[in-house]
Amino acid sequence: MISRYRHALAKHSPRLLRSVIYKTLYRQFKDQYTISPEQFRGKRILIVGPANTLFDDLKSIDYSKVDIVVRMKNGIHTSLDLWKEDSLRCDVLFHSFAGGSRPVTLNDINRAGVKYIVHRTLKKSAFLDTLLAEEKFGSSAGVKIVPYEHYGALSERLGGHAPSTGMVCADFFLDAPFKSLTFVGFTFFSTRYVAGYNDQITSDEAALSKVKDAGHHSPLHEARLIGDRIQEERAAGKCVYVSESMRQALDGFGARHGA
C-alpha cells in the first residue's frame, strides 16, 4: 500500500507541488533505495561495457568463475553468443532512464534475469523516475539508486564533467568488497559500440566525436579517474582485471595527454 502511494505521487504530482513532493519522498526514502556495496561482498563481478571490443575481450574470461554480471543501458539488449543459453544474462543493470536509450520492458528484465536495476540519479527530482521504474519493474527486480549526492561528488572529481553511466557503475563497484572485479568492453568512447548497442555510430571516430560534441562527458577525465582507482585498489591487495583493449585505451589517453 505504501509503495503504491509513492508511485501515485510520482506519477500524478501536480506541477506546483512537484518540488515539495520529490524532496519529501527523497528525504524519507533515500536510504531504503540506496544500493550498498556490501551486497557484493566476496563476489566475482564482471562489468560488461558497450565497446565493440567486447567479444574479443570475453574470450579471455572464464565465465564459470563469474558470480555477478553487470550491464549498462542498451547492454541489456546485447546477446553474447559466447554464453549460449545465458547470452542475455544481466544480474545488475545500471540505467539513467533518460532519452537516447532504447526502452526497457518487463519482458527484457525477465529474460535477462535482472535482480537489481540501479538508477543513476543526477539530481534529486530524478527520484520520481526511480519510483516510476519501481512501479514498472518492481515485481521482478529490486530498483535501487546511486544517490545524486554521489553523482555530484563524482562530477567534481571529473573536473565538473557529467559522469557517464559506465563511470558511475565502475566507481560504485570499485568501492565494493568484491573477491574479483573484471572490466570488458570499456574503451572510453575511443571505439564504436558493439553491434546492436547504438548502430547509428558507425566508426571509432564518430564515437569519440559524438561524446565530445555533446560536451557532457569527458573520456580523458573518466579514463584518468578509473585508471587511478584501479591502481589504488590493486595496491590495497584487491583483484582487479582489465581487458587488453581497456588497458590500451587507458595507456592511449595517458600518452596523448601526458598523464
Q: What is the pLDDT of residues 79-128, one digit of tens each?
A: 987 787 889 999 999 999 877 788 999 999 999 999 999 999 889 999 99
Closest CA to 188 of 250, 110, 114, 112: 250
- Report pLDDT for 198: 80
Mean pLDDT lowest for which of 56-65, 144-153, 248-257?
A: 248-257
- Report pLDDT for 75: 94
> For residue range 228-237, what is the model confidence (pLDDT) as tens digits?
999 999 999 9
| pLDDT of residue 1 exceeding 60 | no
| pLDDT of residue 256 exceeding 60 | no
- Report pLDDT for 139: 94
- Report pLDDT for 203: 80
State the burial class of residue 243 (Cβ atoms within 10 Å of its Cβ: 0-12, 13-18, 19+): buried
What percentage of the chain has pLDDT greater than the value 90? 70
- Report pLDDT for 98: 78
- Report pLDDT for 19: 94
> For residue range 54-92, what is the model confidence (pLDDT) as tens digits?
999 999 899 889 999 999 999 999 998 778 788 999 999
- Report pLDDT for 214: 63
- Report pLDDT for 50: 93
Q: What is the pTM of this model?
A: 0.92
What is the distance, to the nearest Å, from the Cα of residue 114 to the centroid of all Cα atoms in its chain? 14
What percentage of the chain has pLDDT greater than the value 70? 94
- Contact (Cβ atoms closer than 8 angstroms) between residue 129 and residue 119: yes
Mean pLDDT value across residues 9-34: 92
pLDDT bracket for residue 196 (50, 70, 90): confident
A 10 A CB-CB count for 116 gives 17
Q: What is the dihedral of CA 38, 166, 184, 48, to 10 degrees?
A: 70
d(CA 35, CA 91): 14
| Dihedral pair phi/psi, residue 192, rounded to 5° | -70, 170
| pLDDT of residue 15 exceeding 80 | yes
pLDDT bracket for residue 253 (50, 70, 90): confident
